[in-house]
Amino acid sequence: MRRLVLCVALLAGCVALSVYSYGRLERMEHGVRVRVDHIRELLAQDDDGGEPALVAASEEFVVFWRGEEDAIVHLVRRKNVDAITLSIVRLPELARHGERGKLAAELAVILRLAEEVRSSEKVSVENVM
Tell me the average pLDDT across 73-87: 86
**In this model, does residue 22 exceed pLDDT 90?**
no
The CATH number of the domain covering residues in 25-122 = 1.20.120
Q: Quick: pLDDT tens for 55-73.
A: 999 999 999 999 988 888 7
3-state per-residue secondary structure call for 14-65: HHHHHHHHHHHHHHHHHHHHHHHHHHHHHHHCCCHHHHHHHHHHHHHHHHHH
User: Could you tell me the pTM of the whole model?
Assistant: 0.80
What is the Cα 11 distance to its own chain's centre? 28
In the chain, where the domains are located: 25-122
